[in-house]
Amino acid sequence: YAEISLKDINQVAKTSFPLCMRHLFEKLREDHHLKHGGRMQLGLFLKGVGLKLDDALAFWKAEFSRKVGAERFDKEYAYGIRHNYGKEGKRTDYTPYSCQKVISSTPGVGDHHGCPYRHFSEENLRAALGKMGVSNRALEDVIDKVRNRHYQLACTLTFEAVHASSCDAGINHPNQYFSESQKIME
Ligand code: SF4
Protein backbone atom coordinates (compact mmCIF):
# COMPACT_ATOMS: atom_id res chain seq x y z
CA TYR A 1 0.00 0.00 0.00
CA ALA A 2 0.97 3.60 -0.49
CA GLU A 3 1.42 5.86 2.50
CA ILE A 4 -1.29 8.14 3.77
CA SER A 5 -0.34 10.94 6.10
CA LEU A 6 -2.40 12.46 8.86
CA LYS A 7 -3.03 15.68 6.99
CA ASP A 8 -4.64 13.86 4.06
CA ILE A 9 -6.93 11.71 6.11
CA ASN A 10 -10.05 13.94 6.11
CA GLN A 11 -9.80 14.34 2.37
CA VAL A 12 -9.37 10.66 1.53
CA ALA A 13 -12.08 9.69 4.01
CA LYS A 14 -14.50 11.76 1.97
CA THR A 15 -13.39 10.59 -1.45
CA SER A 16 -12.20 7.02 -1.01
CA PHE A 17 -13.48 5.35 2.17
CA PRO A 18 -16.27 2.78 1.76
CA LEU A 19 -19.41 3.50 3.75
CA CYS A 20 -18.45 1.16 6.63
CA MET A 21 -15.28 3.16 7.28
CA ARG A 22 -16.80 6.58 6.58
CA HIS A 23 -19.38 5.83 9.22
CA LEU A 24 -16.78 4.85 11.83
CA PHE A 25 -14.64 7.84 10.92
CA GLU A 26 -17.55 10.25 11.29
CA LYS A 27 -18.68 8.72 14.57
CA LEU A 28 -15.15 8.95 15.95
CA ARG A 29 -15.01 12.64 15.00
CA GLU A 30 -18.44 13.21 16.52
CA ASP A 31 -18.17 11.21 19.74
CA HIS A 32 -14.37 11.27 20.18
CA HIS A 33 -14.74 7.62 21.02
CA LEU A 34 -15.35 4.22 19.44
CA LYS A 35 -15.96 0.92 21.14
CA HIS A 36 -13.58 -2.00 20.70
CA GLY A 37 -15.15 -3.45 17.52
CA GLY A 38 -15.03 -0.06 15.83
CA ARG A 39 -11.47 0.61 16.89
CA MET A 40 -10.41 -2.72 15.41
CA GLN A 41 -12.32 -2.36 12.14
CA LEU A 42 -11.26 1.23 11.47
CA GLY A 43 -7.79 0.89 13.00
CA LEU A 44 -6.76 -2.06 10.85
CA PHE A 45 -8.29 -0.44 7.77
CA LEU A 46 -6.21 2.70 8.38
CA LYS A 47 -3.13 0.58 8.80
CA GLY A 48 -4.02 -1.04 5.48
CA VAL A 49 -4.32 2.30 3.69
CA GLY A 50 -0.80 3.11 4.84
CA LEU A 51 -1.18 5.18 8.00
CA LYS A 52 2.05 4.74 9.93
CA LEU A 53 1.98 3.79 13.61
CA ASP A 54 3.05 7.21 14.87
CA ASP A 55 0.38 8.91 12.80
CA ALA A 56 -2.19 6.36 13.94
CA LEU A 57 -1.36 7.08 17.59
CA ALA A 58 -1.63 10.83 16.98
CA PHE A 59 -4.91 10.38 15.11
CA TRP A 60 -6.62 8.31 17.82
CA LYS A 61 -5.16 10.37 20.63
CA ALA A 62 -6.43 13.64 19.18
CA GLU A 63 -9.99 12.28 19.31
CA PHE A 64 -9.96 10.14 22.44
CA SER A 65 -8.21 12.69 24.62
CA ARG A 66 -11.14 15.05 24.05
CA LYS A 67 -13.36 12.45 25.66
CA VAL A 68 -11.25 10.58 28.21
CA GLY A 69 -8.15 12.80 28.51
CA ALA A 70 -4.65 12.24 27.18
CA GLU A 71 -3.48 10.32 30.22
CA ARG A 72 -6.25 7.74 30.04
CA PHE A 73 -5.66 7.41 26.32
CA ASP A 74 -2.01 6.60 26.90
CA LYS A 75 -2.89 4.14 29.66
CA GLU A 76 -5.87 2.34 28.18
CA TYR A 77 -6.00 2.78 24.43
CA ALA A 78 -2.51 3.31 23.01
CA TYR A 79 -1.64 -0.33 23.71
CA GLY A 80 -4.45 -1.57 21.45
CA ILE A 81 -3.22 0.55 18.56
CA ARG A 82 0.37 -0.58 18.93
CA HIS A 83 -1.01 -4.12 19.21
CA ASN A 84 -2.78 -3.76 15.83
CA TYR A 85 0.59 -2.84 14.34
CA GLY A 86 2.23 -5.89 15.84
CA LYS A 87 4.20 -3.93 18.43
CA GLU A 88 2.72 -5.56 21.54
CA GLY A 89 1.75 -9.00 22.81
CA LYS A 90 2.39 -11.80 20.36
CA ARG A 91 3.55 -9.24 17.82
CA THR A 92 1.25 -10.54 15.16
CA ASP A 93 0.92 -8.18 12.23
CA TYR A 94 -2.89 -8.14 12.09
CA THR A 95 -4.53 -7.86 8.70
CA PRO A 96 -7.44 -5.53 7.89
CA TYR A 97 -10.90 -7.11 7.81
CA SER A 98 -12.44 -8.34 4.56
CA CYS A 99 -16.02 -7.50 3.62
CA GLN A 100 -17.07 -11.00 4.56
CA LYS A 101 -15.71 -10.54 8.05
CA VAL A 102 -17.26 -7.07 8.46
CA ILE A 103 -20.62 -8.23 7.11
CA SER A 104 -20.72 -11.24 9.43
CA SER A 105 -19.94 -9.18 12.56
CA THR A 106 -22.75 -8.50 15.02
CA PRO A 107 -22.64 -4.91 16.26
CA GLY A 108 -24.57 -4.29 19.48
CA VAL A 109 -26.15 -1.14 20.89
CA GLY A 110 -23.70 1.77 20.72
CA ASP A 111 -21.43 -0.05 18.28
CA HIS A 112 -20.67 1.51 14.91
CA HIS A 113 -18.73 -1.24 13.24
CA GLY A 114 -20.20 -3.70 10.73
CA CYS A 115 -21.38 -3.19 7.17
CA PRO A 116 -24.02 -0.46 6.81
CA TYR A 117 -25.62 -2.29 3.87
CA ARG A 118 -26.36 -5.13 6.22
CA HIS A 119 -26.63 -3.44 9.62
CA PHE A 120 -28.31 -0.08 8.99
CA SER A 121 -32.06 0.37 8.82
CA GLU A 122 -33.23 1.21 5.31
CA GLU A 123 -33.98 4.76 6.39
CA ASN A 124 -30.49 5.32 7.80
CA LEU A 125 -28.90 3.69 4.78
CA ARG A 126 -30.80 5.96 2.40
CA ALA A 127 -29.70 9.01 4.35
CA ALA A 128 -26.06 7.88 4.43
CA LEU A 129 -26.01 7.15 0.69
CA GLY A 130 -27.59 10.50 -0.04
CA LYS A 131 -24.80 12.16 1.96
CA MET A 132 -22.24 10.26 -0.13
CA GLY A 133 -23.77 11.78 -3.25
CA VAL A 134 -25.57 8.71 -4.64
CA SER A 135 -28.31 9.92 -6.97
CA ASN A 136 -31.92 8.80 -6.52
CA ARG A 137 -31.89 6.33 -9.36
CA ALA A 138 -28.68 4.61 -8.32
CA LEU A 139 -29.97 4.63 -4.76
CA GLU A 140 -32.98 2.49 -5.69
CA ASP A 141 -30.65 -0.02 -7.36
CA VAL A 142 -28.50 -0.16 -4.23
CA ILE A 143 -31.55 -0.69 -2.00
CA ASP A 144 -32.72 -3.44 -4.33
CA LYS A 145 -29.42 -5.30 -3.86
CA VAL A 146 -29.65 -4.85 -0.10
CA ARG A 147 -33.16 -6.30 -0.03
CA ASN A 148 -31.78 -9.38 -1.79
CA ARG A 149 -28.92 -9.46 0.74
CA HIS A 150 -26.27 -8.77 -1.89
CA TYR A 151 -24.37 -6.36 0.34
CA GLN A 152 -21.10 -6.36 -1.59
CA LEU A 153 -22.97 -5.76 -4.84
CA ALA A 154 -24.77 -2.86 -3.15
CA CYS A 155 -21.36 -1.48 -2.17
CA THR A 156 -20.06 -1.98 -5.72
CA LEU A 157 -23.02 -0.04 -7.14
CA THR A 158 -22.36 2.72 -4.63
CA PHE A 159 -18.73 2.82 -5.69
CA GLU A 160 -19.76 3.09 -9.34
CA ALA A 161 -22.30 5.82 -8.59
CA VAL A 162 -19.96 8.05 -6.58
CA HIS A 163 -16.97 7.56 -8.88
CA ALA A 164 -18.95 7.61 -12.14
CA SER A 165 -16.79 4.69 -13.17
CA SER A 166 -17.30 0.95 -13.39
CA CYS A 167 -15.82 -1.48 -10.91
CA ASP A 168 -15.75 -4.76 -12.79
CA ALA A 169 -13.90 -6.69 -10.09
CA GLY A 170 -16.65 -5.96 -7.55
CA ILE A 171 -15.96 -4.97 -3.94
CA ASN A 172 -14.73 -7.69 -1.61
CA HIS A 173 -12.51 -5.78 0.80
CA PRO A 174 -12.74 -2.27 2.29
CA ASN A 175 -9.08 -1.69 1.47
CA GLN A 176 -9.69 -2.80 -2.11
CA TYR A 177 -12.52 -0.23 -2.32
CA PHE A 178 -9.99 2.34 -1.14
CA SER A 179 -7.28 1.42 -3.61
CA GLU A 180 -9.69 1.20 -6.57
CA SER A 181 -10.92 4.65 -5.63
CA GLN A 182 -7.43 6.08 -5.33
CA LYS A 183 -6.59 4.71 -8.79
CA ILE A 184 -9.46 6.75 -10.21
CA MET A 185 -8.58 9.86 -8.18
CA GLU A 186 -4.98 9.92 -9.37
FE1 SF4 B 1 -17.50 -2.04 3.86
FE2 SF4 B 1 -17.44 -4.22 2.34
FE3 SF4 B 1 -19.73 -3.41 3.48
FE4 SF4 B 1 -18.65 -2.06 1.46
S5 SF4 B 1 -19.46 -4.16 1.40
S6 SF4 B 1 -19.49 -1.17 3.33
S7 SF4 B 1 -16.47 -2.26 1.89
S8 SF4 B 1 -17.91 -4.14 4.54
Per-residue pLDDT tens digits for 72-131: 999 999 999 999 999 888 877 789 999 999 999 999 999 999 999 999 999 999 999 999
Domain ranges within the chain, ordered by starting residue: 6-84, 99-185
Respond yes or no on whether ipTM tops 0.90: yes
Residue 175 Cα to ligand 1 midpoint, Å, equals 9
Residue 138, pLDDT > 80, answer yes
The tens digit of pLDDT for each residue in 48-78 reads 999 999 999 999 999 999 999 999 999 999 9
* Average pLDDT, rounded, for the chain: 95
Residues 13-38: what's their mean pLDDT? 97
Q: Which residue has a Cα nearest atom 3 of ligand 1? A: 115
Q: How far is the CA of 115 from the centre of ligand 1 (A)?
A: 5
pLDDT digits (tens, 9 = 90+) for 139-164: 999 999 999 999 999 999 999 999 99
Nearest to 143 by CA among 160, 178, 163, 118: 118
How much of the chain exceeds pLDDT 90, in percent?
92
Ligand 1 in contact with 19 (CB < 6 A)? yes
Asked if 41 contacts 116 with a C-beta cutoff of 8 angstroms, the reply is: no
How far apart are the C-alpha atoms of 151 and 115, rounded to whole Å?
A: 8
pLDDT of residue 28: 98
Taking each continuous run of H as one helix and of E as one strand, the counts in the chain are 12, 0
Residue 4 Cα to ligand 1 middle (Å): 20
Q: Count Cβ neighbours within 10 Å for each residue of 128-141 and write b for 16 or more, e otherwise.
A: bbeeeebeeebbeb
* DSSP assigned state of 76: I
Does position 184 have pLDDT exceeding 90, yes or no?
Answer: yes
Give the pLDDT confidence score for residue 94 in this predicted structure.
Answer: 87
Q: 2 falls in which pLDDT band (50, 70, 90)? A: low
Q: Does the beta carbon of 115 sit less than 6 angstroms from any atom of ligand 1?
A: yes
Q: Whose alpha carbon is nearest atom 1 of ligand 1? A: 20
- Centre of ligand 1 to C-alpha 70, Å, is 32
